[in-house]
Amino acid sequence: MRHGFSGGKTMKGQQLFDHQKININLARLKTHGTNFELVVDPDMAISFKEGKEVDIVDILKAQEIFSDANKGLLSSEDEVEKVFGTKNVLEVAKKILNDGDIQLTADHREKVRNKKKKRIINIIHINAIEPKTGMPHPIQRIEAAMNEVNVHIDEFKRAEDQISDIVKKLIVVLPIRFAKKEIQVSIPAEYAQKTYGKIQKFGIIKKEEWLNDGSWLAVIEIPAGLQNEFFDELNKETHGNVDTKIVNER
Tell me which of 44, 79, 103 is where a domain ends.
Answer: 103
- Report pLDDT digits (tens) over 77-98: 999 999 999 999 999 999 999 9
Percentage of the chain beyond pLDDT 70 is 91
- The domain of 217 spans 180-249
Residue 115 placed within a domain: yes
- Please count the other Cβ atoms lying within 10 Å of the Cβ belonging to residue 136: 23
One domain, residues 191 and 211: yes
Distance, CA of 91 to CA of 74 (rounded, Å): 16
pTM for the full predicted model? 0.75
- For 31, phi and psi rounded to 5 degrees? -150, 150
Q: How many residues are present in the chain?
A: 250
Residue 63 placed within a domain: yes
Residue 245 placed within a domain: yes
Checking if the pLDDT of 11 tops 90, the result is no
Which CATH number characterizes residue 210's domain? Answer: 3.30.70.240
Residue 7 placed within a domain: no
Q: What is the mean pLDDT of the chain?
A: 90
Confidence of residue 13 (pLDDT cuts 50, 70, 90): very low
| pLDDT score recorded for residue 71 | 92
Tell me which of 77, 103, 129 is where a domain ends.
Answer: 103
Residue 51 placed within a domain: yes
Confidence of residue 8 (pLDDT cuts 50, 70, 90): very low
Residue 86 placed within a domain: yes
Give how far Cα 208 sits from Cα of 27, 132, 201, 239, 249, Å: 51, 31, 15, 21, 18
One domain, residues 85 and 130: no
- Report pLDDT digits (tens) over 188-214: 999 999 999 899 999 999 999 999 999
Tell me which of 125, 143, 177 is where a domain ends.
Answer: 177
Distance, CA of 147 to CA of 139 (rounded, Å): 12
